[in-house]
Structure 1
Amino acid sequence: MTLQTNVDAVTNREEPLSVRTVLVRFGPMIYGPTVLFALGEGAIVPLIPVIAAELGADVPAAALVAAALVVGQLCGNIPAGWAVARIGERLTMTFAGGLSLVGVVAMALAPVLGVFAASVFLIGFCAAAFGLARHSFMTTRMPLAFRARALSLLGGSFRLGMFVGPFVAAALLAIFGDEHAAIWFFGVCLVATVLLVLLGPDPEVELAGAEITRSRGDSSIAEDTGEAVTGSIPTSERVGVFVTMWRYRSVLARLGLAAATLSAVRSARQAVLPLWGVSIGLDAQTIALVVGISGAIDFALFYASGQVMDRFGRLWAALPAMLLMGGGFIALAFTHDLATNELWFAMFAAVLGVGNGLSSGILLTLGADVAPKSEPAAFLGSWRTLTDAGGAVAPLLVAGIAAAFSLSIATGLMGVIGLLGAGAFIRYVPRYAAPRAPR
């Protein structure tokens, strides 16, 4: 399996794309809705345990309710792949936004903890469907030469929303004094998201039919008429989700597991840094400042990852990111009892932020690279399930090992996982992805 067989219908377009062109073409359908959805989700995530506690949950139960969001995402990926393959990306995003709105209303009005937890699960489930649909949309429409930058912008759009969302929630709490204000804010974001997806211009309208037809090199794809495409690009064959998983088991078991290690290390960063700050005796304000600076560095570098991947190849972004995060965790693990542990904590938090920023868009891009043209959504459902599983397992590993041994050992282990993942990327990225996009 080579990357060339996965080049989408517009890969060889002669007209060069710019950031402005991509934003104008895909902003109303993809980037705008992504920012809105992430903004609302980011506003409620910090408040889920708080509201769960108000409904009678103790600390472990509140943690389980918060975890329902991740569990919902894990459970939603494969059904989302099935939905996108049959009704298309636009309708899947619309239904996901509508069902999320139902979940938001249920969260706001939940009389008991069980209803609230089910609502959180539903929102996670719909977030998976929304994310997979936009991933599939970009996979089938974006020229290969600009794919990594476009998907890094997509990852950056999500990070922007998740970064700003908690500040919006804090402002709403200061104004209204009620956590439910953030939930209703999420509802407003969802309404705007659905309206953009439904009423925004379809990027396919921008593509001239003759231009696409000239660029097509695969006769298995149906002839383009120049009409707007709102579903999946038609193909000569449609296979099921599980058939697609079996057919591409090799890449999923190799490159997919490597991608899962990257997702695990990313997720571990969010769990380890606050815990480390507490364990060395820092106050909440200092911890928030250090984590915030790390997040700001992460966000500032999101587009650089796409530029590196498009210009030099996928490995040149994946490998430095994994080495920085893996090495950063291992080095941090040896600083806990040093006299200057606060300084080392701040420095390695910044290193982890750089590594995470350089990894922006990598999972989206690699998934798009190796997804089959005939059934990208079904494949991406399996791919995203693997990567989401890696992200979900990492905090559990950190918590369990820290409880059984120490936080330093848990942190060092996550560093080892990062280095093992780097080795897997070295082995499998050249096998499954081209060293650089054709220009």
Structure 2
Amino acid sequence: MSPDDSPESIRRMLWRLAPMIYGPTVLFGLGEGAVIPLIPVLASELGADVPMAALVASALVVGQLCGNIPAGWAVARIGERATMALGGGIALAGVVGLIVAPSLPVLTASVLLIGFCAAAFGLARHSFMTTRVPLSFRARALSLLGGSFRLGMFVGPFIAAGLLAIFGDEHAAVWFFGVCLVATVALVLLGPDPETTITGRTPADDGRDREDTGEAVTGSIGTHAPTGVIRTMWRNRGVLSRLGLAAASLSAVRSARQVVLPLWGVSIGLDAQTIALVVGISGAIDFALFYASGQVMDRFGRLWAALPAMVLMGTGFLALSLTHDLDEAAMWFAMFAAVLGVGNGLSSGILLTLGADVAPQSEPAAFLGSWRTLTDAGGAVAPLLVSAIAAVFSLSIATAAMGVVGLVGAGAFLRWVPRFVPRR
């Protein structure tokens, strides 16, 4: 271990990142987490039925999908700090739209805009960490980034519940999101400039674009003249179509967990309080493991986090699918919810880390836009797949199908991680 990679040096680096990366991430996550559960409520107040309210809520994911590639273009041209500030500022317009929306189209457009800005904000942070954090503790730094966002999303709904109890108005949570965005933009703009205070630790390459040969790409990433999003995607089509699809399968299994567990609880006849308790415990286990995932990836390699996580979630879904009609269905539900929580926790930060590992040195932001679009698409498709299979067959078969996706994804990681990513 070099002196720069000692535990004390790592702690100093992470503390330096706190006001410029982790702090804004927590604030953004708190505000977004407070608003997300209330979007269907706001839609219903404007006359939406249940399917329409669900459609309005899904606009957030659509906005994120649409925003990733333009965000990569913006980061490549104006930098991470400016993109983060711009994304947070434009998201304020979406918050205003949520507050004053006179109709469902305006509300939907506001939700879409917030999702678009969330993609820009997230990609700028990802790109910054990719270019500045040394490879030796990249996974820990990115797992902490993922954990910061999870903290905000975990605590946000409780803050919304408290605001509802005090004010009795759903718009109080939207105002809270607005305050969080103002604080986020202020922290990004008034804090130390991360692009000048922290520089890449590994020398940049010679600046030439490199074709996707399948070899591992490591180290910090230099800044070069932008070559264009489409060109960057094409030059890296090999890693995107292989490791990128494996990453999308992980995102799909994660997303399916959030849908399947509540539906399963309802299907076996549990009350809302019990379902919330089981899902909450699963989420707490997930959150508790986020930094351990980074430790595993940095010490033993990325595959040692990705493979166990996918195997645990895949087998967890498959085993859960066999318990629906058993006498102790509630016990099995709680047990496999915990297993899924462990699997999801072990995968914390893996998508961010793999994206940083394989991003080309000449054009990281454009590549990461494509990478995040793939992973977000996997997360968006999974709930639709669960709903469709459950409607045609049964929830048990839909749950088993997601288990198969998890195990196939584990095989894909086993095949492609050693090719594209270094063992350490």
TM-score of the aligned structures, taking structure 2 as reference length:
0.94
Separation (CA, whole Å) in 1 of partners of 2:58 and 2:2: 43
- Structure 1 residue ranges (4+ consecutive) displaced by more than 4 angstroms after TM superposition: 204-207
2:340 to 334, 341, 352: 352
2:203 to 216, 241, 258: 216
Q: Structure 2 counterpart of 1:338, which letter?
A: L
**What is the aligned partner in structure 1 of residue 270 from structure 2?**
282
CA RMSD of aligned residues (A): 1.7
1:296 to 277, 284, 304: 284
1:140 to 122, 131, 137: 131
Retained in 2: the 8 A contact 1:22–1:150? no
2:69 to 57, 74, 78: 78
Separation (CA, whole Å) in 2 of partners of 1:196 and 1:325: 37
Question: Structure 2: any 5+ residue segments left out of the alignment?
Answer: 209-220
1:241-287 CA-partner distances (Å, limit 9, x unpaired): 00000000000000000000000000000000000000000000000
Q: Secondary structure at the match of 2:325?
A: coil
Post-superposition offset of 1:204: 4.9
Separation (CA, whole Å) in 2 of partners of 1:256 and 1:13: 34
1:294-331 CA-partner distances (Å, limit 9, x unpaired): 00000000000000000000000000000000000000
Post-superposition offset of 1:24: 1.6
1:123-148 CA-partner distances (Å, limit 9, x unpaired): 00000000000000000000000100
**What is the aligned partner in structure 2 of residue 97 from structure 1?**
88
**What is the aligned partner in structure 1 of residue 43 from structure 2?**
52
Is it true that 1:253 corresponds to 2:241 in the alignment?
yes
Separation (CA, whole Å) in 1 of partners of 2:14 and 2:100: 37
**What is the aligned partner in structure 1 of residue 60 from structure 2?**
69
**What is the aligned partner in structure 2 of residue 107 from structure 1?**
98
Q: Structure 1 counterpart of 2:6, which letter?
A: P
**What is the aligned partner in structure 2 of residue 404 from structure 1?**
392
**What is the aligned partner in structure 2 of residue 6 from structure 1?**
none
Post-superposition offset of 1:201: 1.2
1:166-218 CA-partner distances (Å, limit 9, x unpaired): 000000000000000000000000000000111111345545x8x95xx5263
Retained in 1: the 8 A contact 2:223–2:363? no
**What is the aligned partner in structure 1 of residue 361 from structure 2?**
373
Q: Structure 1 counterpart of 2:270, which letter?
A: L
Q: Structure 2 counterpart of 1:260, which letter?
A: A
Retained in 1: the 8 A contact 2:204–2:222? no
Separation (CA, whole Å) in 2 of partners of 1:47 and 1:104: 13
Separation (CA, whole Å) in 1 of partners of 2:196 and 2:83: 19
Retained in 1: the 8 A contact 2:318–2:400? yes
Q: Structure 1 counterpart of 2:128, which letter?
A: F
Separation (CA, whole Å) in 2 of partners of 1:186 and 1:257: 33
How do 1:13-28 residues align onto structure 2 when only pairs under 5 Å count?
14-16=4-6, 18=8, 20-28=11-19
1:175 to 166, 180, 185: 166
Q: Structure 2 counterpart of 1:326, which letter?
A: G
Over the matched positions of the two proteins, sequence identity in percent amounts to 77
Q: Structure 1 counterpart of 2:246, which letter?
A: A
Post-superposition offset of 1:21: 1.6
Post-superposition offset of 1:13: 8.0
Separation (CA, whole Å) in 1 of partners of 2:5 and 2:418: 28
Post-superposition offset of 1:12: 8.5
Separation (CA, whole Å) in 2 of partners of 1:66 and 1:186: 16
**What is the aligned partner in structure 2 of residue 122 from structure 1?**
113
How many equivalent residue pairs? 411
**What is the aligned partner in structure 1 of residue 223 from structure 2?**
234
Is it true that 1:243 corresponds to 2:231 in the alignment?
yes
Retained in 2: the 8 A contact 1:12–1:143? no
1:104-133 CA-partner distances (Å, limit 9, x unpaired): 011011111110111000000000000000
Q: Secondary structure at the match of 1:76?
A: helix
Q: Structure 1 counterpart of 2:257, which letter?
A: R
Separation (CA, whole Å) in 1 of partners of 2:28 and 2:339: 29
Retained in 2: the 8 A contact 1:13–1:143? no
1:344-396 CA-partner distances (Å, limit 9, x unpaired): 00000000000000000000000000001110000000000000000000000
Separation (CA, whole Å) in 1 of partners of 2:18 and 2:222: 20
TM-score of the aligned structures, taking structure 1 as reference length:
0.91
Q: 1:53 to 1:12 in 2, by over 3 A?
A: farther
Q: Secondary structure at the match of 2:6?
A: coil
